[in-house]
Amino acid sequence: MFERKISQSVEQTYASLEKILVAHKCKINAREPPRYIQVTQGSLIGISPMTAKKVVSFSLSADGSQTKVESCSEIASDWKNLTLYGNVITALVIGVFQWITLDMNNYINSAKPGFWAWIAQMFETPSMEAAVLVSNLIQALALFLILVIIFEIIIVIYVYPRKNAFTQHVLEKISS
């Protein structure tokens, strides 16, 4: 929850707020002029506090000659789900890659084909070089996916505590 007092009437503050939100390409979900407005801001591919998809609500009330604006930002559920399920699926793919790599290494060391040996045997003349190539390629892909998961975790750790950055930006624009 973020709160700020604005030296304007409730109606003026609401009009300024709505104008700023529309200028930032926010999708208005709900409104009760001049007391409340809720918007969706950002996108699913956003990786910063200003661009990650979130639902932001603003409540306005008179406070003497000023307007008290209370705002609340929540990361959108579809952004959370995409991040969570994307990482889970990526981890499962890494597990399969590790299984393939172990099977290939077993094939390389013992010359006994396992479940995944057919990948190295796809060529007209199966060779250990093909198995080594496949094993190394899959290990590189697994490493890349591990780095992707680490990057996603860093994004989440960075975005969540700063989810009110857009709200603060909007309220600063109203004040000026």
Residue 8 in this model has a pLDDT that exceeds 80: yes
**pLDDT tens figures, 137-165:** 999 999 999 999 999 999 999 999 999 99
Residue 19 in this model has a pLDDT that exceeds 80: yes
Please give the pLDDT value at position 174. Answer: 86
**pLDDT tens figures, 117-139:** 888 777 666 677 888 888 999 99
Please give the CATH topology (third level) of the domain spanning 2-76+163-175. Alpha-D-Glucose-1,6-Bisphosphate; Chain A, domain 4 (3.30.530)
Share of the chain above pLDDT 70, in %: 97
Please give the pLDDT value at position 64. Answer: 86
Please give the pLDDT value at position 164. Answer: 93
Instruction: Please spell the DSSP secondary structure of 16-33, one letter per residue.
Output: HHHHHHHHTTPEEEEEET
Task: Give the distance, in angstroms, between the CA of residue 154 and the centroid of all CA atoms in the same chain.
Answer: 10
Domain boundaries, the chain: 2-76+163-175, 79-159
Task: Give residue 76's region: left, alpha or beta (phi > 0; psi -120 to 50).
Answer: beta
Q: Look up residue 100 and give its two tokens.
A: 């393939």
pLDDT band, very low/low/confident/very high, at 1 (cuts 50, 70, 90) = confident
Kindly report the average pLDDT of the chain as a whole number.
91
pLDDT band, very low/low/confident/very high, at 61 (cuts 50, 70, 90) = very high
CA distance 88 to 165: 28
Average pLDDT over residues 2-27: 92
pTM of the model: 0.81
